Structure 1
Amino acid sequence: MPTYLYQEILPNGDDGECFEVIQRMSDAPLKTHPQTGNPVRKVFVAPNLPTKYTEAATKSKLTNENVEKHGFTRYEKDKVSGKYHKTAGKDKRAPDVVNANKLREMQQKGIL
């Protein structure tokens, strides 16, 4: 079932809170807020449609520059030593090299 967005209209005519309601497409739109009883209006938003997966699109989104730009840190495992080396990220709390156990501890603490 689709999720619809409604906005409350306050008694003074101002816009109130927005809220979502899951309804059948055949259901009539809401006329009042379910909790306050104030009138509401349906807000139309663009649907969230998934895009077609392509390997090139994924690679472009996962570049080191894009990872850093969005505030993430990337580690890659060295197959010889078994340690993880930082390949992207500017967070000073994130060390340049960690072993697998240390990395797991950092993730559990919410550092990464």
Structure 2
Amino acid sequence: MPLYEYVILNDDGSDGETFEVLQRISDPPLKKHPETSQKVRRIMSAPSVKKQYSGGKITGDTSNKNLERLGFTKYQKSKTGTYEKILGSGPDLIQRDAK
């Protein structure tokens, strides 16, 4: 069940404190605070995404060897602000057009 975030609506129309409620996806949004009966509205919040390899750094997937094998082109920013091709089949240089 997802954890939904709600904000209490103050009498003057401003937002009050926020709280979280564990609800089924099929449940309708709350209209009142479950304990105080104050008016509330559900707010959007960033999802919590669990990654399989969240504890370590993944290096093999983005190695130059893998990128080239998979057909990617890799660029690196130079000191002059242009991007120079490191590997792949794209243009040798990417730069901003003169104004």
| TM-score (normalizing by structure 1) | 0.46
Relative to structure 1, the CA distance from residue 10 to residue 58 in structure 2 (aligned partners, 3 Å threshold; closer, same or farther) is same
Rg bigger for which structure? 2
Deviation of the 1:13 alpha carbon: 1.1
When the two structures are aligned, how many residues end up with a matched partner? 59
Correspondence for 2:16: 16
Residue number in structure 2 paired with 1:48: 48
In structure 2, relative to structure 1, the CA distance for the partners of 1:3 and 1:54 (3 Å cut) is closer
Higher helix share: 1
Structure 1 residue 36 displacement after superposition: 2.0
RMSD over aligned Cα atoms: 2.4
Give deviations 1:39-82, integer Å, cap 9, x for gaps. Answer: 111111121102241786179xxxxxxxxxxxxxxxxxxxxxxx
Runs of 4+ that moved beyond 6 A: none
Identity %: 44
**Structure 2 length as normaliser, TM-score?**
0.52
Tell me, in whole angstroms, the C-alpha distance in 1 between the residues paired with 2:38 and 2:31: 8
Structure 1, unpaired ranges of 5+: 60-112
